[in-house]
Amino acid sequence: MHNTTAHLAQLDAQHFIHPFTNSGELAAKGTRIIDRAEGIYIYDTQGQELIDGMAGLWCVNVGYSRQELVDAAMSQMQQLPYYNSFFQCTTPPAIALSEILSEVAPKHINNVFYCNSGSEANDTVLRMARHYWACQGLASKQVIISRHNAYHGSTVAGASLGGMSAMHKQGGLPIPGIEHIDQPYWFGEGFDRDPQVFGKQIALQLEAKIIALGEDKVAAFIAEPIQGAGGVIIPPATYWPEIKRICQQYNILLVCDEVICGFGRTGEWFGSEYFDVEADLMPIAKGLSSGYMPIGGVLTADRVAEVLKTKGGEFNHGFTYSGHPVAAAVALANVNILRNEGIVDKVKAEVGPYFQQQIRKLGDHPLIGEARGVGLLGAFELMADKTAHEFFPDKGRVGTLCRDLAIKNGIVMRHVGSTMVLSPPLVISCGQIDELFARIKLTFDEVAEKVLN
Ligand code: PXG
């Protein structure tokens, strides 16, 4: 019988290889088993209640325990659990989802290609962008420019497009045809300069890279509007306008990876809208179904879709579960909840500003060098000496300590080195934000007690 926590943890250690995990260490420590969730709270098998400050992995936008999503899955399973969208077939939920995505996406985007995750969405981006240029007789436009410390997934193309050096070290990545420029991380890498000057300088690296490679070799630039897994890195205001100009001037596709920023996280439907950028391709996943079912996609601008549809011939790409009817039905119900309940608007007008106010207040804490955020994204930089702009020598150690104390205090926060990040469900209330920040403040006090002299 799989019924005691200790027994489950033992079986887990014996048989389950976890993602992004040192299995030896985990087996020695034992894993936390989450078996129930409601609203913004998750519960482990030992009965601890935690505020899920990360919305799972940046994805449970409408919160846990939404019966409408359960009902959507169940009725679709009863009606038609599976059929594909290959060979000139399709299914009603995939069609309905495509229609509603065209409605909530920016005006210039009215098509979507489906897959099962953000990683697959980015693999699709790579193939679609190159195919788009090849269809127009410009097959030499192959290179995709990305950024150091970007996260675009864990598949071969996703991890190559990403700029995580630890990922590149394993498995012979990145694959050829991908180049990386610097990230617009002012607090970590540009603190000696004015943020707006820094933002523009970093953007200009894109122009320099295109010129160095030759415009005829470059297919696209890919970036998260705000980097998530990299540590909630918000570009200075000068960054995106310059990127926009460069992509237009040199005729390369602009890909905004909306896997985290999409579906309301910034207070707009998409992060690119927050920065007033028109993307040609937008990989989506996570908040598309609020994580209730695995589903991803690539929102495709009219100018790209038009070429693919009229000059593309067959696009030799797709997945067994592209447009899976159950996943599509759940995503459809999820987008309806976001829209009908005005959740995105509420993030923009009410809970987002309140959340940001609480974040900024903690910027005064002796441990915190910078407190930043947009909408319901937030980050805190833990510093050894904030006045001297001195980071801790072992960033991971202090970040882990803070993460563990946060859990003891009843909250899930993720650490990226010594940056603590937050991305709670979008349905969090102002009262719950108070509860969350009381626990964060307590956690920072406890960390400071242990690590500051
Ligand atoms: N793009 C972005 C911007 C992401 O954040 C992916 C693509 C890949 O999506 P899939 O569905 O293939 O995982 C992501 C995923 C973390 C963490 O610890 C972040 C992600 C995934 C797992 C962990 O911050 N982001």
Q: What is the pLDDT of residues 196-233, one digit of tens each?
A: 999 999 999 999 999 999 999 999 999 999 999 999 99
361 alpha carbon to ligand 1 midpoint, in Å?
29
- Cβ neighbors of 343 (< 8 A, separation 6 or more) are 61, 62, 264, 337, 426, 427
Cα–Cα distance measured from residue 60 to residue 158, given in angstroms and rounded to the nearest whole number: 22
Q: Give the count of alpha carbons within 13 A of 16, CB side only.
A: 15
Indicate the helix (H) or strand (E) that contains 221: strand 218-223
Work out the angle between the directed axes of helices 430-451 and 395-408 (0-180°, nearest 10). Answer: 130
pLDDT tier for residue 81 given thresholds of 50, 70 and 90:
very high
* Distance of CA 401 from the midpoint of ligand 1 (Å): 23
Tokens 């169940």 identify what position?
74
Protein residue whose Cα sits closest to atom 1 of ligand 1: 152
Q: Give the whole-angstrom CA distance, residue 28 versus residue 34.
A: 18
Four-CA torsion 199, 203, 205, 206, nearest 10 degrees: 170
CB count within 10 Å of CB 14 equals 8
State pLDDT tens for residues 396-433.
Answer: 999 999 999 999 999 999 999 999 999 999 999 999 99
Q: Is the pLDDT of residue 1 over 60?
A: no
Tens of pLDDT, residue by residue over 95-110, are: 999 999 999 999 999 9
Q: How far is the CA of 119 from the centre of ligand 1 (A)?
A: 7
Structure tokens at 94: 């995939």
Whole-model pTM: value is 0.98
Cα(311) to centroid of ligand 1, in Å?
A: 32
pLDDT tens for 147-201 read: 999 999 999 999 999 999 999 999 999 999 999 999 999 999 999 999 999 999 9
CA of 148 to the centre of ligand 1 (A): 15
What is the distance in A from the centroid of ligand 1 to the CA of 392? 26
Residue appearing with tokens 């028109």: 278
Residues 378, 347: Cα–Cα separation, whole Å: 13
Helix (H) or strand (E) holding 170: none
- The third-level CATH classification (topology) of the domain covering 32-65+342-451 is Aspartate Aminotransferase, domain 1 (3.90.1150)
Provide the percentage of residues in the chain whose pLDDT is more than 90: 97
Sequence-ordered list of residues with C-beta below 8 angstroms from that of 168, at least 6 positions apart, any chain: 159, 160, 174
- Which atom of ligand 1 lies at the shortest distance from residue 286's CA? 11
- Residue ranges per structural domain of the chain: 32-65+342-451, 68-340
User: CB within 6 Å of ligand 1 — which residues?
Assistant: 57, 117-119, 122, 151-153, 158, 224, 228-229, 257, 259-260, 285, 414
Q: Whose CA is nearest to atom 24 of ligand 1?
A: 229
Residue nearest to atom 18 of ligand 1 (CA): 229
Question: Which residue among 263, 286, 419 is best mutated to probe the pocket of ligand 1, counting the most ligand atoms within 8 A of its Cβ?
Answer: 286
Query: Residue 405: its pLDDT value, please?
Result: 98
CA of 1 to the centre of ligand 1 (A): 34
Per CATH, is 68-340 categorized as 3.40.640.10?
yes
Task: Tell the burial category of 177 from Cβ atoms under 10 Å away from its Cβ (0-12, 13-18, 19+).
Answer: middle
Determine contact, residues 221/247, Cβ cutoff 8 Å.
yes
What rounded mean pLDDT belongs to the chain?
A: 97
Residue to mutate, 57, 126, 255, 289, ligand 1, most ligand atoms under 8 Å from C-beta:
57
Mean pLDDT of 341-353: 98
DSSP one-letter string for 283-328: EE-GGGTTTSS--EEEEEEHHHHHHHHHH--------TTTT-HHHH
Peptide bond into 106 cis (omega under 30): no
β-pairing, 218-223 with 143-147? parallel
